[in-house]
Amino acid sequence: MTRQKRDYLWVGVFAVLVTFAIPWFLWRDATTWAGLPVWLWWHVGWMFLASGAFYLFTRGAWDRGMSVDAEEV
């Protein structure tokens, strides 16, 4: 995959993360699971997903964006 395609892929990943960070479709929904509202579980799961995406981002794309050579680190 070329660098430009990879960069566009990361832009798309972070756009999706931001778009679905707030579960608008779960507002006014009183459904609970394991004693907590479903929208709260959405946030917990979404934070795990976002932290995983950020971890993968820091494994290469961050260094390239900051113009840091991978061998220097």
Could you read off the pLDDT of 11-53 as tens digits, one per residue?
Answer: 899 999 999 888 888 778 788 889 888 888 999 999 999 999 9
pLDDT at 68 over 70: no
Burial class (CB in 10 A: 0-12, 13-18, 19+), 64: middle
Pairing of strands 32-33, 36-37: antiparallel
More confident call, 2 vs 63: 2
User: How far apart (Å, rounded) are the C-alpha atoms in residues 15 and 9?
Assistant: 10
Spacing of C-alpha 58 from chain mean position: 12
Domain boundaries, given as residue ranges, for the chain: 3-21+32-65
